[in-house]
Structure 1
Amino acid sequence: MITDPRRQVPRTDALLADPALAAAGERLGRALVKGAVQAVQQRIRDGELPPEAAVDAVLAVLPATAGSLRPVLNATGVLVHTNLGRAPLSPAAVEAVVAAAGTTDVELDLATGRRGPRGEAALAALVEAVPAAEAALVVNNCAAALALVATALGGDLVIARGELVEIGDGFRIPELLAATGARLREVGTTNRVTLADYRAALGPGTGAVLKVHPSNFVVRGFTRSVEVAELAPALAGTGVPLVADVGSGLLAPDPVLPEEPDLQSTLAAGADLVLASGDKLLGGPQAGLVLGRAELVQRLRRHPLYRALRVDKTTLAALEATLRGPLPPVRAMLAADLDGLRARARALADRLAGAGLDARAVDSEARVGGGGAPEHPLPSAAVSLPPSFAEPLRLGRPPVVGYVDGDRTLLDLRSVPPADDEALAAAVLEVGLRGD
């Protein structure tokens, strides 16, 4: 007699009742586990798996969480990698997010039982970190901060032509500003603008003068720009605010990145408002930071658009913990010692070579990423592997994303926290020993 192979496939209800899969269902949701069960059942029908391997096969394909985002080991050497979620949160920020995920006092004054100011502690932490600021505001990203400024201040926005930049994925500053209804008053040329150009553009309808740091490119040669310190005195007494979008979220000057603008210095030089991203060099969650004169910050806060752009409780919690807690990962990566990076690369390469893999330690160049410091490479160290490792590492569990340079796959360690070296080695060994 020929047995119908379909009779050998474990029933869905029987698999879902297995204790291990039932526990997974409580953690991940029954629908997600059922989908994995059905996929494994099809593999059994196709003859790829024996029926007795069904439970283990389902457990092997289940995600770590009910969400689809997967943790990735970033070995690209790009510290703030937009495609990999930019800044990884610090353990302190993660703990703060978990604590804030439930019912919290985000807008309740527990002492009085009445409504309290939203995010007061996070905003206070920002102002403490940037003493030149009188007040602060947080929205959901830096583009949102720019849109809020353009909408709330209104009128003509005076901006140099060389600062009408594209900020990534096809989004352009002039189109973003025009979408708010603002009127752009472009001054200067692509490569040169003078103080006289700005002065000539001012009029009764001027809402603000806007400076945008062209963080993802550099223009060299016959150029001229007007810095905040030169522009601010020229605007004194005009009533026209000077707004500077510095981009990367550097709070104060950093000797590692001497050319990168920071919030404290820009305000001290005379800007009325500064805008920046919280998820770049600050090392926190995605957020748009607005700091500066209290009267202008309050004007933005009271605008109806702010309600649509404000951040949630978990972002406020992560931001405060980033500002008050220990050094966030991006800052630690930026400050990493080259000798230490080389020692890690040698240790990893020796371990992999000892297992028979073609691995060696090499010097490399890392990057800030996220549009920051485009001409400032960071000396680093990497583990060099054959080019065939790139794809299977990227498809592994956990995924490891490196880059191919010439005929080698490089895993740059400046963007990998030292605590992840063991996981990195295990991922490479799994690929190498199975012969991918």
Structure 2
Amino acid sequence: MPDRPDRRRTTPRTDRVLADPRLRAAAGRLGDRLVKAAVAGALARCRAGEVDPARVADAAVAALPAAATSLRRVVNATGVIVHTNLGRAPLSPAAVTALEVAAGATDVELDLATGRRGPRGAGALAALRAAVPAAGDVHVVNNGAAALALVSLALAAGRTVLVARGEMVEIGDGFRIPELLESVGATLREVGTTNRVRLADYAAAMDDSVAFVLKVHPSNFVVEGFTASVPVDELATLPVPVVADIGSGLLAPHPRLPAEPDAASTLRAGAALVTASGDKLLGGPQCGLLLGRADLVRDLRRHPFARALRVDKLTLAALEATLTGPVPPVRAALTADPAALLGRAEALAARLRPVVPAAAVPSTAAVGGGGAPGVPLPSAALALPAALAAPLRAGPVPVVGHVERGRLLLDLVMVAPADDAVVEAAVRAAAATAPEVAAAGAAAAPVPATERS
């Protein structure tokens, strides 16, 4: 029996594989390092007998990433509109175009008429002022926590901040509001009890050391039962400014979120400053919004630490386009028609039933990101066997849903209609890798979804 050929002799040389026109073109798009890594992997598979020597270049091309980033596009079918683990608000097409414009040299800090230095991000700030006329002035920093930290550092370093005990909240990833304020030199003085606080509690705690009263919107929880809190208009009667951290970035009242605080109403109620996030209910890029009294905002803008929190030109461009452009995906999802969503789910289910047990079911979406905790939003979902959850997350375009009572729900509230075909293709591919789904039983009765992240 003749000896088998030594694969080390038949494996092509690295330089010959790299000379493939497809790989040369990819190097210009992805960089040499990623292309060489794909080639090295294909050559290793060839030496192991997994790839034919004549197909090494093909294997390397197939292994190339879609872009020069480890981040991957994901279809958000969780039913959570603002999903922190999935990057919170997806940008509108107008904001994406603005990012492309801002990616090169721009006049972000140049007055083209005079050739001299100009105000930074003037367009974005003007758009924010126009969106909230109740604000005397506005400023933007790199996230919501930075906005509150800047206020505390500038106004309360070495001084006291009054806050209701029930508003000493923890936000995402273990960060706590009290620790954030104390890290910049403020001293917190709790007033009231966990479930009840009155205006008299604030008044009794007032002395010359108090810099401001902080009103914090609870994030990701609701306190019910024997409760009491003090609204901003009453806090505004105290002899110090009121700073309201509304969190979710709602700029004006929304009919589906009647209990969610918004910047315009909070300022009209007497808040001196409002802080909020730009990548939640506003639907824009990650940033922190500061709105309120012109003199206070001016002092914040000129504070030395403000430089460390400055946003870049990409954020300014995306924020301006979010404020002036068409309705972004987050705000569109808040007004989505459940009947239309159910119709899309039924069409998907009908096309997929020959491949996998599928059904269209009503579901309940959630705002997420700490906004409107406990508020249900009617939606619709595609119900599939739970065994598809992992294969769908591992696909070329991951589709992330949630499993409830033994079945996978792909909620469509944050799935663009144009992505229905992407979801269908992903389910077909996932079913091919999980043959056990063919034997799966019919989906269980629909159950309301709860806030999932």
Q: Which amino acid aligns with 1:326?
A: P
For 1:350, the equivalent position in structure 2 comes to 350
Could you list the per-position Cα deviations for residues 319-368 of structure 1 after superposition, in whole angstroms to 9, with x for gaps in the alignment? Answer: 00000000001111111101100000000110111x33211111111111
For 1:210, the equivalent position in structure 2 comes to 214
Query: Which secondary structure state, in structure 2, belongs to the residue aligned with residue 369 of structure 1?
Result: coil
For 1:163, the equivalent position in structure 2 comes to 167
Q: Distance in 2 between matches of 1:122 and 1:170?
A: 31
Could you list the per-position Cα deviations for residues 385-428 of structure 1 after superposition, in whole angstroms to 9, with x for gaps in the alignment? Answer: 11110001000010111111111111100021111111111111
1:435 positional shift: 4.0
For 1:106, the equivalent position in structure 2 comes to 108
For 1:402, the equivalent position in structure 2 comes to 401
Could you list the per-position Cα deviations for residues 273-329 of structure 1 after superposition, in whole angstroms to 9, with x for gaps in the alignment? Answer: 101100000000000000011000001011111000010000000000000000001
Give 5+ residue unaligned stretches, structure 1. Answer: none
Instruction: Work out the number of aligned pairs and report it.
Output: 431
Deviates more, 1:210-219 or 1:322-331: 210-219
Query: Which secondary structure state, in structure 2, belongs to the residue aligned with residue 10 of structure 1?
Result: coil
Could you list the per-position Cα deviations for residues 157-195 of structure 1 after superposition, in whole angstroms to 9, with x for gaps in the alignment? Answer: 111111010001110000111111111111111111110
Report the TM-score when normalising by structure 2: 0.93
For 1:421, the equivalent position in structure 2 comes to 420
Alignment of structure 1 residues 147-162 onto 2, 5 Å = 147-154=149-156, 155-162=159-166
Query: Which secondary structure state, in structure 1, belongs to the residue aligned with residue 127 of structure 2?
Result: helix
Q: Which amino acid aligns with 1:257?
A: L
CA contact (8 A) 1:86 1:279 kept: yes
CA contact (8 A) 1:333 1:417 kept: no
Alignment of structure 1 residues 3-402 onto 2, 5 Å = 3-154=5-156, 155-232=159-236, 234-235=237-238, 238=239, 240-353=240-353, 355-402=354-401
Q: Distance in 1 between matches of 2:92 and 2:267?
A: 27
Q: Distance in 1 between matches of 2:152 and 2:433?
A: 56
Could you list the per-position Cα deviations for residues 39-64 of structure 1 after superposition, in whole angstroms to 9, with x for gaps in the alignment? Answer: 12112222222222222222222122
1:434 positional shift: 4.3
CA contact (8 A) 1:77 1:367 kept: yes
Q: Which amino acid aligns with 1:218?
A: V
CA contact (8 A) 1:96 1:317 kept: yes
Q: Distance in 2 between matches of 1:335 and 1:266?
A: 23
Q: Distance in 2 between matches of 1:265 and 1:215?
A: 19
The alignment's C-alpha RMSD in Å is 1.1
1:210 positional shift: 0.6
Deviates more, 1:87-96 or 1:186-195: 186-195
Q: Distance in 2 between matches of 1:95 and 1:84?
A: 21
CA contact (8 A) 1:136 1:291 kept: yes
Deviates more, 1:416-425 or 1:5-14: 5-14
Q: Distance in 1 between matches of 2:49 and 2:332?
A: 50
Q: Which amino acid aligns with 2:133?
A: P
Query: Which secondary structure state, in structure 1, belongs to the residue aligned with residue 166 of structure 2?
Result: helix
CA contact (8 A) 2:192 2:198 kept: yes
Query: Which secondary structure state, in structure 1, belongs to the residue aligned with residue 366 of structure 2?
Result: strand
Report the TM-score when normalising by structure 1: 0.97
1:10 positional shift: 2.2
Query: Which secondary structure state, in structure 2, belongs to the residue aligned with residue 78 of structure 1?
Result: coil
Q: Distance in 1 between matches of 2:430 and 2:417?
A: 21
Query: Which secondary structure state, in structure 2, belongs to the residue aligned with residue 189 of structure 1?
Result: coil
For 2:442, the equivalent position in structure 1 comes to none
Q: Which amino acid aligns with 1:193?
A: V
Moved over 6 A (4+): none
For 2:445, the equivalent position in structure 1 comes to none
Q: Distance in 2 between matches of 1:89 and 1:28?
A: 24
Q: Distance in 2 between matches of 1:96 and 1:258?
A: 32
CA contact (8 A) 1:272 1:292 kept: yes
Q: Which amino acid aligns with 2:252?
A: A
Q: Distance in 2 between matches of 1:256 and 1:323?
A: 20
Q: Which amino acid aligns with 1:53?
A: R
